[in-house]
Chains A and B, each alone.
Chain A
Amino acid sequence: MTSTPTRAAELPPSAPHRSAVFVPGALGRRAVAALSFRNIGAVYVWLVIVVLFSVWAPDTFPTIITVKQVLNGNAVAGLVALSVVPPLAARVFDLSVAYTMSLTSVLTARFLVSAGLGPGAAITLAMAAALLIGVVNGIVVVVLRVDSFIATLATGALIQSLITMVTNDSSITGVQLLATPFASIAQLDADGITLPVLYLLLAALAIWFLLEHTATGRRLYATGFNADAARLQGVRTDRLRFLTLVASALLSGFAGIVFASSVGSGSPTAGTPYLLSAYAAAFVGATQLRAGRFNAWGTVLAVLLLGTGITGLGLATSAQWAASLFTGSVLIVALVLTGGRIALPAVLRRRKGIPSTAGAGTPAESGTPPVTGKET
């Protein structure tokens, strides 16, 4: 032991022993913490919403049809929302996901309808396009060091031009899209619950496992929270950022294919409405369960919360404007309730003060910042 000063004696590092002695108390405390409003506030809000709409629209809302409608109707939104979670964990914004989604939906449709390819080939080619977008995003953001927020807006514009090239800005429809093998991707159901709900569960499970239970996930969070510190600890931050951009492109690309299958057409604007809701869900999700960290189940919870509210408003009123109003309000309320604990993206969060005053005698003087540039 070190030469123990008086203060160290007050708190011997024996936490493991104590928690072993008071197992019931500790369990109880953990249960309380797990069920607290701070941890799963969205669940309580969701329950309130359910009760509210059950009273407001007692005939149409509290039915099994509504449950199915919320699940089926939000599976694609959930996939897009999940696609931005790994990049956000590493503090990378991928704003091109909506365009990637539109592109794969129109490409799949185009390959099926005009090129006469089989569903397997069409899907493979569309996913290859998504992969390419991920790589391009990675190159622009990681290799060329453009801020991800702006970079993915720019690549989004490039993708939009591709979409217009493919579609001339009109939806692609055809019987091939409604034929069984392709249509079943999104429309096969068991008791009214369609396959995309399963995809959503699998994607959430995979991202949850990655972020919570693997070294890679821990390193992703480290990259997001403090990339400089992570790099000094041997975390290959650039490679991780690159990979999250590839992952988000692939997952949002897959969402586009599911979308094309579910509506039976390739729409040049398929992804656009999903962008805001994806980020809303990811940010609300980051206030849940693992507060301050973008996480899979929090995001799914947020998607369901938003979906329930919007469905309920649709049933209770017929106001078109209600959906966006609800999404925006929930996002603000969630962020306020968590007291700004959710870490802001790097573009919005600048280090306080003058860089070189951060530590005593830091060597950040005269243009020799210790570590900022390339990965080592």
Chain B
Amino acid sequence: MTGPALRVAALSKRFGGTQALRDVDLEVASGEIHALIGPNGSGKSTLIKILAGFHHAEPGAVAELDGEPFDLGHVTASRHDRLRFVHQELGLVGELSAIDNLALSHGFARTAFGNIRWPEMERRTTALVERFGLGIDVRRPLVTATPVQRAVVAIAAALQGWEGGRGVLVLDEPTAVLPPGEVARLFDIVRELRDAGASVLYVSHRMDEIFALADRVTVIRGGRRIATRRVAELTPRSLAELMAGEETETDHRPAPSAGAADPVLEVRDLWAGPLRGVDLDLARGERLGITGLVGSGHEVVPYVACGAHAGPVSGRLRLPERSERWTEARDAGALGLPLVPADRAGEGVIGDFSVGENLTLPLLHRLRARAGRLHRRRESALAEDWIRRVGVRTAGPGARITTLSGGNQQKVVMARCLAQRPPVLALCEPTAGVDVATRLQLYDLIERQADEGMGVIVCSSDTQDLLALCTRVLVVRDGRIAREISGRDITEPALVHAMEGTE
């Protein structure tokens, strides 16, 4: 029996007045996949950053690799050899090739004159990458690779020069950037690494991944370690309780609703990007899911409906409550349907704005006072009202939006859409990067809107969203609606098979 590959004890960290971590212990046994799970803001990223040497721990912390203590404050050579990281953003340079990216951390092979020996670099990189068997072209810029190929390059970069195999690989939410079909492939790769003798610390906030992959799991919440358990002893419900700290309802499945009698949105023959002729009808109070593999075109539908798609579109759509007339899809922007975009940081929130400013941005025309002046008092009242209604956790409308957790930012984005009182709410990846507890609140919020008669489009590649929320799901494959699943038939296998076309 060997000791733990990585042991951390009594780890604490303060940021100003916030105790981010409090006496956290963590043990990764050698040859196991150990999951670290916790809601956003629980301290798991802080823990990883301390291990990686970005932050310094408070004095008193103990850290050992294979029983040998190491200094948490310094990135020493020995630690670099045995503790490797794949960070959430993967830390790759997209414009560069796999060869270049791997060389960034390990250097180039050079001749006596200092010029790079490209053939050798290519051989070396290929050798590292090809064991994962995804047919990666090591010379092409990574932006042209698929997300799972990029993840593999990041893992290969982390594993360079790690031939011994005894060590700990830390994967920080690696599936956040992967479409569901490719997650399984990543899991295979992670298992393969474990079977080759490596230990893996797998950070996630997705419970299904824990059950699919991990041997043991450590739950942290509020900067404390709540529990470490063998995954085999847990049920999704008991793990959710550990994470959320309360009884959470795991089965959010709604009953199938009545037929689409009363349409709020009709779309006909939509062509845009990968879409080739999509029709859809959305009824009052309906929660319609749209899903598919990345590139299938499902992710484009809400953008087109909201007039936010770049590039040529054709087709027509109609909001019967507004007008009996059909609108050309290229003029869809004039209908003014609000969109909760997929990329929250890039298209959703304005990071330099406060919570209030983010909330009222599309509502400014309502806040005009004399001489074109902005009515500040009405603005903050409006912002406070919606902060309360959707339950945003914030110090107030003046707080900067980036001080909020991902889930609370998402609530702000949703609130400003709801404040426009639209007949249809289009959501893209509504729970991406949102912790479990907030996720449930978002589901509640969306359901309440639908109950009040709003038609909701949930465009998601996360089957959990579809299972929890939708009364009907359209599965898009190769730009067409390949399958429509409704009510009790919406199950994980049904969705995955429809997406992959393996029915």
Interface residue ranges, A against B (CB under 8 Å): 1-8, 11, 13, 15-16, 19, 209, 213-219, 221-222, 225-226, 228-235, 292-293, 343, 351-366, 368-374, 376
Q: Is the CB of A359 within 8 A of B361?
A: no
* Cα of A226 to Cα of B432 in the assembled complex, Å: 20
Q: Considering only CB atoms, which chain B residue lies closest to A214 in the complex?
A: B372
Known: A361-B178, A370-B342. A292 touches B352 (CB 8 A): yes
Q: Considering only CB atoms, which chain B residue lies closest to A357 in the complex?
A: B177
Known: A7-B393, A362-B429. A232 touches B441 (CB 8 A): no
Cross-chain pairs A/B with CB under 8 angstroms, 5 sampled: A215-B367, A221-B353, A353-B89, A356-B177, A358-B343
- Chain A residues within 8 Å of B299, by CB: 363, 368, 370
Known: A2-B444, A15-B395. A218 touches B177 (CB 8 A): no
Q: Is the CB of B294 within 8 A of A365?
A: yes
- Chain B residues within 8 Å of A3, by CB: 440-441, 444
Contact of A225 among B89, B339, B353 (CB under 8 A): B353
Closest 3 CB pairs of A and B: A363-B299, A373-B310, A360-B432
Contact of B300 among A11, A232, A368 (CB under 8 A): A368
- Chain A residues within 8 Å of B176, by CB: 360-361
* Cα of A214 to Cα of B370 in the assembled complex, Å: 10
Q: Is the CB of B364 within 8 A of A364?
A: no
B147 on interface, CB distance cutoff 8 Å: yes
Q: Considering only CB atoms, which chain A residue lies closest to B180 in the complex?
A: A361
B453 on interface, CB distance cutoff 8 Å: no
- Chain B residues within 8 Å of A232, by CB: 306, 308, 339, 341, 347-348
Q: Considering only CB atoms, which chain A residue lies closest to B345 in the complex?
A: A358
The proximity string for B residues 155-194 relative to A, scoring 1 for CB distances below 8 Å and 0 otherwise, is: 0000000000000000000001111000000000000000
- Chain B residues within 8 Å of A354, by CB: 89-90, 92, 94, 142-143, 150
- Chain B residues within 8 Å of A8, by CB: 391, 393
Q: Is the CB of A230 within 8 A of B361?
A: yes
Known: A2-B441, A213-B374, A365-B146. A229 touches B311 (CB 8 A): no
- Chain B residues within 8 Å of A352, by CB: 89
Contact of B361 among A2, A7, A219, A374 (CB under 8 A): A219
* Cα of A7 to Cα of B407 in the assembled complex, Å: 13
Q: Is the CB of B246 within 8 A of A5?
A: yes
* Cα of A352 to Cα of B353 in the assembled complex, Å: 19
* Cα of A318 to Cα of B429 in the assembled complex, Å: 65
- Chain A residues within 8 Å of B352, by CB: 221, 225-226, 292-293, 343
Q: Is the CB of B90 within 8 A of A353?
A: yes
- Chain A residues within 8 Å of B393, by CB: 7-8, 11, 13
Residues in B390-430 with C-beta less than 8 Å from chain A: 390-397, 416, 428-429
B91 on interface, CB distance cutoff 8 Å: yes
- Chain B residues within 8 Å of A363, by CB: 294, 299-300, 342, 428
Chain B contact patch, size range: 35 or more
Residues in B273-318 with C-beta less than 8 Å from chain A: 273-274, 294-295, 297, 299-300, 303, 306-311
Q: Is the CB of A6 within 8 A of B310?
A: no
Known: A232-B308, A356-B177, A357-B89. A371 touches B303 (CB 8 A): yes
Q: Considering only CB atoms, which chain B residue lies closest to A216 in the complex?
A: B372
Q: Considering only CB atoms, which chain A residue lies closest to B92 in the complex?
A: A354
- Chain A residues within 8 Å of B501, by CB: none
Contact of A368 among B246, B274, B433 (CB under 8 A): B274
* Cα of A1 to Cα of B386 in the assembled complex, Å: 11
Q: Is the CB of A228 within 8 A of B433?
A: no
- Chain B residues within 8 Å of A215, by CB: 364-365, 367-368, 372, 374
How many whole Å from B400's CB to the nearest CB in chain A? Answer: 10
- Chain B residues within 8 Å of A369, by CB: 310
- Chain B residues within 8 Å of A222, by CB: 350, 353, 357, 361
Known: A16-B396, A225-B352, A357-B150. A7 touches B429 (CB 8 A): no
Known: A219-B364, A355-B94. A225 touches B177 (CB 8 A): no
How many whole Å from A94's CB to the nearest CB in chain B? Answer: 21
Q: Is the CB of A355 within 8 A of B143?
A: yes
Contact of B345 among A15, A359, A373 (CB under 8 A): A359
Q: Is the CB of B303 within 8 A of A213?
A: no
* Cα of A13 to Cα of B309 in the assembled complex, Å: 36
Q: Is the CB of A361 within 8 A of B177?
A: yes
- Chain B residues within 8 Å of A376, by CB: 307-308, 333
Besides A2-B390, A7-B393, A353-B94, 18 more A-B contacts (Cβ < 8 Å) are A3-B441, A4-B391, A5-B244, A11-B395, A16-B396, A215-B364, A215-B368, A215-B374, A225-B353, A233-B362, A235-B361, A354-B143, A359-B342, A360-B429, A360-B432, A360-B433, A361-B460, A364-B343
Most chain A CB within a 10 A radius of its CB, from B362, B387, B445:
B362
B73 on interface, CB distance cutoff 8 Å: no
B12 on interface, CB distance cutoff 8 Å: no
How many whole Å from A345's CB to the nearest CB in chain B? Answer: 13
Q: Is the CB of A218 within 8 A of B391?
A: no
* Cα of A218 to Cα of B353 in the assembled complex, Å: 10
- Chain A residues within 8 Å of B392, by CB: 13
B485 on interface, CB distance cutoff 8 Å: no
Contact of B303 among A5, A293, A370 (CB under 8 A): A370
Known: A7-B437, A16-B396. A370 touches B351 (CB 8 A): no
Q: Considering only CB atoms, which chain A residue lies closest to B249 in the complex?
A: A3
Known: A3-B441, A363-B300. A229 touches B294 (CB 8 A): no
B80 on interface, CB distance cutoff 8 Å: no
- Chain A residues within 8 Å of B353, by CB: 221-222, 225
Q: Is the CB of A359 within 8 A of B433?
A: yes
Q: Considering only CB atoms, which chain B residue lies closest to A293 in the complex?
A: B352
Known: A213-B373, A218-B374, A354-B94. A229 touches B391 (CB 8 A): no
Contact of A353 among B91, B244, B343, B416 (CB under 8 A): B91
- Chain B residues within 8 Å of A216, by CB: 372
Q: Is the CB of B94 within 8 A of A361?
A: no
Q: Is the CB of A214 within 8 A of B461?
A: no
- Chain A residues within 8 Å of B396, by CB: 13, 15-16, 19
* Cα of A1 to Cα of B295 in the assembled complex, Å: 37
